[in-house]
Amino acid sequence: MKQKKRIVIALGGNALGNTLTEQMLAVKSTSKAIVDLLQEGCEVIVAHGNGPQVGMINHAMAALSREDRSQTNTPLSVCVAMSQAYIGYDLQNALREEMYNRDIFDIPVATMVTQVRVDPEDPAFACPAKPIGHFMTKEQAGFAAEKYGYVVKEDAGRGYRRVVASPLPQEIIEIGAIHTLVESGQLVIACGGGGIPVIRKGNHLTGASAVIDKDFASELLAEDLNADYLIILTAVEKVALHFGKPNETWLDDLDTEHAKKYIAAHHFAAGSMLPKVQAAVKFAESKPGRTALITLLEKARDGILGKTGTHIHLP
């Protein structure tokens, strides 16, 4: 019998939308893309981002504690946990419905609240760089910095956003449970929002004030689960050289050596395409035969069939 391809999917912002209403609608088309892959005979594990959602939750919780002094402020790690549950809730319902619509009744869906250990000495703690929350104009960003003490930065030419620390993921705490669920044939949603960042202190795990990049967390998840593919679904069909310039060139195939050269030549914007290409290179280099694919959400099936997307592999 043909072995099923094991795929870890990393869902980007456009798969989830920016508001509650957008998310409810977006997860429907996202689920179609995921169930397409199940019907291609793949075994799928879903990870996702949370930038807009965790920013919204953290901002709302801070407003609550300003209004009601008896409410202490909610740590960012708890806000990540809240975002995992709320996104998982919408996603698992949309996936279940899409499977039932296609007469697939034998794949249970589970969302795993996932903690990811980070290194307290990670230099990223001193250098906030992960964009969260909504986009702002320069004036709105100045106001948010002044009123709420937010660190704000311009985000890849798309406006201003709040930025927070984003250390690298070191270890997925619940990997044993995730592995067991995957091996038993469940469709698992894990490492949402990059995972809840925690620091180990003896037997105790304490939340860290950070948001881990979901591209890096998904890569670690894919390595840990011995996946064949890491698929990063985003808002572009392919990775480009000279992105947005007149000499823009879309890439079908990218070997890891060329990818590293293009990274060094700054072809990929920090905070957007750069972590995706870095995660893809790390995965492709982790074991011969592993391939990463970066493509548009709606093109996931065509991508896995080799018809589109940028495929990253060893030379």
Ligand X SMILES: Nc1ncnc2c1ncn2[C@@H]1O[C@H](COP(=O)(O)OP(=O)(O)O)[C@@H](O)[C@H]1O
Ligand Y SMILES: NC(=O)OP(=O)(O)O
Catalytic residue positions, numbered: 13-14, 130, 214, 276
Based on the number of CB atoms within 10 Å of its own CB, is 242 exposed (0-12), middle (13-18) or buried (19 or more)?
exposed
CB of 51 to ligand X, least distance (A): 7
Based on the number of CB atoms within 10 Å of its own CB, is 203 exposed (0-12), middle (13-18) or buried (19 or more)?
exposed
Cβ proximity to ligand X, 84 vs 272, nearer residue: 272
Site for ligand X contains 49 (CB under 6 A)? yes
- CA–CA–CA angle 270, 301, 282 (5° rounding): 35
CB of 213 to ligand Y, least distance (A): 4
The residues near 48 (Cβ < 8 Å, ≥ 6 apart) are 10, 11, 15, 16, 87, 91, 189, 192, 193, 214
Cβ proximity to ligand Y, 88 vs 194, nearer residue: 194
CB of 261 to ligand Y, least distance (A): 25
Q: Which does 193 bind (CB under 5 to 8 A by kind): ligand X, ligand Y, none?
A: ligand Y
Site for ligand X contains 273 (CB under 6 A)? yes
- HSE, CB side, 13 Å, CA atoms: give it for residue 51: 25
- What does the binding site for ligand Y look like in residue numbers (CB under 6 A)? 12-13, 49-51, 193-194, 211, 213-214
Q: Which does 243 bind (CB under 5 to 8 A by kind): ligand Y, ligand X, none?
A: ligand X
Assign 65 to helix, strand or coil: helix
Interface stretch with ligand X, choices 8-16, 68-76, 180-188, 280-288 (CB under 6 A):
8-16
Site for ligand X contains 293 (CB under 6 A)? no
Q: Which does 211 bind (CB under 5 to 8 A by kind): ligand Y, ligand X, none?
A: ligand Y
CB of 176 to ligand Y, least distance (A): 23
- CA–CA–CA angle 271, 92, 98 (5° rounding): 110
CB of 186 to ligand X, least distance (A): 25
CB 208 within 8 A of CB 198: yes
CB 129 within 8 A of CB 163: yes
Cβ proximity to ligand Y, 99 vs 169, nearer residue: 169
Site for ligand X contains 169 (CB under 6 A)? no
Nearest to 87, CA basis, from 143, 19, 173, 167: 19
Which run of H or E residues covers position 46? strand 42-48
| Positions in the binding site for ligand X (CB under 6 A) | 12-14, 49, 156, 234-236, 239-240, 243, 267-269, 272-273
